[in-house]
Structure 1
Amino acid sequence: MRRTARLLSGTAFAGAVAVAGLGTAPAYGDGSGSGGGLEIFPSSVVPGGQVTVNTAECGDGSTAAGDAGAVGAGPFTLAPSTHELDAIGRFRVPPSAQPGTYEIVATCAEGGRRVTGDLVVTLTSAREHVSPRGSVKTGVGGALGPDPVQTAAGVAALAVAAAGGTWLLHRRARGDGI
């Protein structure tokens, strides 16, 4: 019975994961509904950052006209690359860009196919690491806390309380009363 329950719960879990996976979007946009699209690196950038855009949708050795006007960067060109026959282009996000999600568009020179991708503009970079500064104000203190005198007083108070509690429990056990 236990084995059957494990088998059924494992199957239900795998089914739930598969159903949940159907609702997720790819990491790049695609204006046509078929595989591929406009890949944007990095997908999240701070104002003033440089963005690289590539697509394999335009075909071998083809170029494309890019448009980053939604974010305020204007037009850019995607040129053929030796990397997996992609067309690659770059643009810089203006320092005045506001946080949000922007659609970047490329139109293939041959055939006029339009591919899209999303660029997220944030105020902080995902690569930035901000370390906390200062001491934690918990009231407990610490060996390296801001005031060693207060720390020593706290330790002394705890020692007196522990000794007094032990003494009272010892008196009670002997029957002396409190």
Structure 2
Amino acid sequence: MRRTARLLTGTALAVAAVGLAAEAHALAGPAAATGGLEVYPVSVVPGEWAAVRTAACGADGSAAGDAGAVGSGAFPLAPEAGEGATTGRFEVPPSAQPGTYEIVATCAGSGLRVTGDLVVTLTPAREQVHPRGSVKTGVGGALGPDPVQTAAGVTALAVAAAGGTWLLHRRARGDGI
């Protein structure tokens, strides 16, 4: 019985692995990128300019950019002098909604397609305030600011787990409780 179960489990895992590999290959396709599209700044507010850069098109390659997801439309990418990369710029429209948008560049010579993400926020990154401290929810709990209470709670849990394991072991041997 166990041998059959192991055989079936092994076969199922092998089929799943082959299926995942085939799906990844199909998603990559012939136009998949070996390098990505760098978008900077990563986070912008509506109305600001964003730039993209990629080395996937080669030193002398140009590309066509598409920022239609954010509402900017098409833009050109041109080779940088002496850098071996292709760059371009586009303006994020003032009507852009907050969110993450995919920016695409397609290399002119090879048709290679590279993508990168642009995050649109309502607050500029330099003005964003990140929360600090703890949140008073009223729920309580063992993990408080006092390390002695935390250690006592962890010790109590460890003793309970060890006792339960010991009782289950005795029961399995037939010693009773």
TM-score (norm 2): 0.53
Query: Which letter maps to 2:77?
Result: L
Q: Percent identity?
A: 67
Gaps of 5+ in 1: 1-30, 131-178
Number of aligned pairs? Answer: 99
Residue matched to 1:42: 41
Residue matched to 2:156: none
Distance between the aligned counterparts of 1:108 and 1:72, measured in 2? Answer: 21
Deviations 1:53-111 (A, max 9, x none): 01000011110000000000000000010252111100000000000000000000011
Residues 142-153 of structure 1: matches in 2 within 5 Å? none
| Alignment pair present for 1:32 and 2:32 | yes
Deviations 1:10-29 (A, max 9, x none): xxxxxxxxxxxxxxxxxxxx
| Alignment pair present for 1:78 and 2:69 | no
Residue matched to 1:126: 125
Query: Which letter maps to 2:76?
Result: T
Residue matched to 2:68: 69
Closer, same or farther: CA 83–51 of 1 in aligned 2, 3 Å: farther
Distance between the aligned counterparts of 1:78 and 1:124, measured in 2? Answer: 28
Q: Which has the higher helix share?
A: 2
TM-score (norm 1): 0.53
Residue matched to 2:102: 103
- Aligned-CA RMSD value: 1.6
Deviations 1:94-131 (A, max 9, x none): 0000000000000000110000000000000011267x
Cα drift, residue 33 of structure 1: 5.8
Distance between the aligned counterparts of 2:128 and 2:117, measured in 1? Answer: 25
Segments of 4+ in structure 1 off by > 4 A? none
- Asked if structure 1 preserves the Cα contact closer than 8 Å seen for 2:33 and 2:113, the reply is no
- Asked if structure 1 preserves the Cα contact closer than 8 Å seen for 2:55 and 2:86, the reply is yes
Gaps of 5+ in 2: 1-30, 130-177
Distance between the aligned counterparts of 1:118 and 1:59, measured in 2? Answer: 21
Query: Which letter maps to 2:124?
Result: S
Q: Which has the larger radius of gyration?
A: 1
Distance between the aligned counterparts of 1:111 and 1:86, measured in 2? Answer: 15
